[in-house]
Amino acid sequence: MGYGQKVIKALMKVQEEIRNPENTSVNPYFRSKYAALPDILNMVRPLLNKNGLVLIQDTGSDEKGIFVITLLVHESGESFKTNRLYLSPVVSKDHNIIPVGNAPQQSGSAITYARRYPK
């Protein structure tokens, strides 16, 4: 899929300025640190806006399950859209597999995770 030149040029300008956010959140289950979605968005949105881009992330579901789509729209109308990123079933602490659609808290966590890693 080809992308418009204006989207590419704007993203190149964003890449010149963007830095990795600090890993300020802690995952107690894996004893690891990660960048929280609000921290990522607070860093990315001003850079995108400055370069005429808007970030839209949407969720949905179909027969395959729950998914996230990311869309970047340039002020010219050109856009870039990711494929659907389907969420995997959640494995509970006692190793039971819970389908994402049947566990609201886990669904929310999975959607937040997927928004950080668009496909």
Residue 90 pLDDT class (50, 70, 90 cuts): low
The pLDDT > 90 percentage for the chain reads 39
Comparing 64 with 98, the larger pLDDT belongs to 64
Q: What does the pLDDT read at residue 64?
A: 83
Q: How many CA atoms lie within 13 A of 94 on its CB side?
A: 1
Tell me the whole-structure pTM to 2 decimals: 0.70
Q: What does the pLDDT read at residue 76?
A: 95
Mean pLDDT value across the chain: 82
Between the alpha carbon of residue 95 and those of residues 23, 89, 102, 105, 113, the distances in Å are 27, 11, 16, 17, 20
Between the alpha carbon of residue 1 and those of residues 44, 79, 82, 83, 90, the distances in Å are 24, 11, 11, 11, 32
